[in-house]
Protein backbone atom coordinates (compact mmCIF):
# COMPACT_ATOMS: atom_id res chain seq x y z
CA UNK A 1 0.00 0.00 0.00
CA UNK A 2 1.28 3.46 -0.85
CA UNK A 3 0.08 6.76 0.55
CA UNK A 4 0.91 10.34 -0.39
CA UNK A 5 -0.54 13.57 1.05
CA UNK A 6 0.28 17.06 2.31
CA UNK A 7 0.50 17.63 6.06
CA UNK A 8 -0.47 20.77 7.98
CA UNK A 9 2.94 22.30 7.33
CA UNK A 10 2.53 21.87 3.58
CA UNK A 11 5.09 19.06 3.51
CA UNK A 12 4.62 16.06 1.27
CA UNK A 13 4.22 12.91 3.35
CA UNK A 14 4.82 9.50 1.78
CA UNK A 15 3.98 6.20 3.45
CA UNK A 16 4.03 2.53 2.60
CA UNK A 17 5.74 1.18 -0.47
CA UNK A 18 6.63 3.26 -3.51
CA UNK A 19 7.10 0.65 -6.21
CA UNK A 20 6.67 0.63 -9.97
CA UNK A 21 2.95 0.04 -9.66
CA UNK A 22 2.52 3.18 -7.51
CA UNK A 23 4.77 5.74 -9.17
CA UNK A 24 2.09 7.17 -11.49
CA UNK A 25 0.03 8.02 -8.44
CA UNK A 26 3.05 9.61 -6.75
CA UNK A 27 4.03 11.65 -9.80
CA UNK A 28 0.49 12.90 -10.35
CA UNK A 29 0.34 14.08 -6.78
CA UNK A 30 3.73 15.80 -6.88
CA UNK A 31 2.87 17.49 -10.19
CA UNK A 32 -0.28 18.88 -8.56
CA UNK A 33 1.76 20.64 -5.88
CA UNK A 34 3.34 23.81 -7.42
CA UNK A 35 6.45 23.98 -5.29
CA UNK A 36 6.82 21.10 -2.88
CA UNK A 37 9.69 21.76 -0.53
CA UNK A 38 10.01 18.96 2.00
CA UNK A 39 9.18 15.27 1.52
CA UNK A 40 8.78 13.41 4.77
CA UNK A 41 9.71 9.77 4.26
CA UNK A 42 9.34 8.61 7.87
CA UNK A 43 6.46 6.29 6.99
CA UNK A 44 7.92 5.13 3.66
CA UNK A 45 9.04 1.53 4.01
CA UNK A 46 10.38 0.95 0.55
CA UNK A 47 11.30 2.73 -2.63
CA UNK A 48 12.19 1.17 -5.94
CA UNK A 49 14.14 2.61 -8.83
CA UNK A 50 10.85 3.67 -10.39
CA UNK A 51 10.18 5.66 -7.20
CA UNK A 52 13.58 7.26 -7.49
CA UNK A 53 12.62 8.26 -11.02
CA UNK A 54 9.57 10.09 -9.68
CA UNK A 55 11.75 12.04 -7.24
CA UNK A 56 14.28 12.83 -9.97
CA UNK A 57 11.64 14.12 -12.35
CA UNK A 58 10.13 16.35 -9.69
CA UNK A 59 13.57 17.61 -8.72
CA UNK A 60 14.30 18.55 -12.35
CA UNK A 61 11.06 20.54 -12.52
CA UNK A 62 11.82 22.41 -9.32
CA UNK A 63 15.49 23.08 -10.11
CA UNK A 64 14.43 24.77 -13.34
CA UNK A 65 12.80 27.37 -11.07
CA UNK A 66 15.70 27.52 -8.66
CA UNK A 67 13.94 25.33 -6.10
CA UNK A 68 14.57 21.80 -4.83
CA UNK A 69 13.30 18.98 -2.61
CA UNK A 70 14.56 18.14 0.82
CA UNK A 71 14.16 14.43 1.64
CA UNK A 72 13.69 13.84 5.35
CA UNK A 73 13.46 10.94 7.78
CA UNK A 74 14.27 8.17 5.29
CA UNK A 75 14.93 4.76 6.83
CA UNK A 76 18.28 3.04 6.55
CA UNK A 77 17.43 0.98 3.49
CA UNK A 78 16.18 4.01 1.61
CA UNK A 79 19.17 6.11 2.74
CA UNK A 80 21.44 3.36 1.36
CA UNK A 81 19.67 3.54 -1.94
CA UNK A 82 19.94 7.33 -2.02
CA UNK A 83 23.64 6.93 -1.43
CA UNK A 84 24.11 4.28 -4.14
CA UNK A 85 22.08 6.43 -6.51
CA UNK A 86 24.09 9.54 -5.79
CA UNK A 87 20.98 11.31 -4.55
CA UNK A 88 22.99 12.93 -1.78
CA UNK A 89 24.61 15.03 -4.50
CA UNK A 90 21.34 16.07 -6.11
CA UNK A 91 18.93 16.39 -3.22
CA UNK A 92 19.23 17.96 0.12
CA UNK A 93 19.02 14.94 2.41
CA UNK A 94 17.65 15.74 5.83
CA UNK A 95 18.08 13.79 9.06
CA UNK A 96 17.51 10.06 8.87
CA UNK A 97 14.57 8.17 10.38
CA UNK A 98 14.33 4.78 12.00
Partner 1 sequence: MPPGVQAAATGLRAEALLQILEVTRKLAAPFDLPAVLAEIGEAARSVLQAERATVWLYEAEQGALVLTGTPPNVAPVKAQLSQGILGLTARSRQIINVPDVRREPLFDPAVDLDLNNDVRCMLSVPLVERSQLVGVLQVVDREGFAAFTTEDERIAETLATQCVVFIQRERMSRSLQQAEKLDREIKLAREIQMSTLPSEMPRLADYDMAGQFCPADQTGGDTFDLVPLEGDRLFVLLGDASGHGIGPALSATQMTGMLRVALRLGADLDAIFAQVNNQLVEDLPEEHFVTAFFGVLDTNTHTVAYHAAGQGPLLHFQAATGECRWLTPTTFPMGFMRYPQVDPPQQLQLEPGDVLGLISDGVFECENPDGVMFGTEGVEAVLHERHDGSMSDVLARVLQAVHVFAAGHPQADDITIVLLARRGETAGRTVVQQYFPRSFDSLDGIFRFIGDFLAARSLDQELHGPACFIVEELFTNFVKYNEGGRHDISLSLGHTPEQLTVRITDFDVEPFDPTHAPAVDVDKPLGERQPGGLGLHLVRQMADTLQYEYTERRSTITFTKALEPG
Q: Which residues bind partner 1 (CB under 8 A)?
A: 17, 19-21, 45-50, 52-53, 56-57, 59-60, 63, 75-78, 80-81, 84-86, 89-90
Is the Cβ of residue 17 or residue 37 nearer to partner 1 in the bound state?
17
Is the Cβ of residue 6 or residue 77 nearer to partner 1 in the bound state?
77
**What angle separates helix 23-32 from helix 49-64, to the nearest 10 degrees?**
20
**Cβ pair 13, 40 in contact under 8 A:** yes
Is the Cβ of residue 9 or residue 66 nearer to partner 1 in the bound state?
66
**Cβ pair 41, 14 in contact under 8 A:** yes
Is the Cβ of residue 8 or residue 89 nearer to partner 1 in the bound state?
89
DSSP3 helix / strand / coil % (the chain, rounded to 5):
40, 30, 35
Beta carbon of residue 45, minimum distance to partner 1 (angstroms, whole number): 8
- Measured between alpha carbons, how far is 58 from 8 in angstroms, rounded to an integer? 21
Beta carbon of residue 36, minimum distance to partner 1 (angstroms, whole number): 16
Mode of pairing for the β-strands spanning 70-72 and 38-47: parallel
Beta carbon of residue 84, minimum distance to partner 1 (angstroms, whole number): 4
Amino acid sequence: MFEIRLNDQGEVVMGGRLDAAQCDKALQFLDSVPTPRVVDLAALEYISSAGLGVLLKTQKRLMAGGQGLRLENANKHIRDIFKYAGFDRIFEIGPGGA
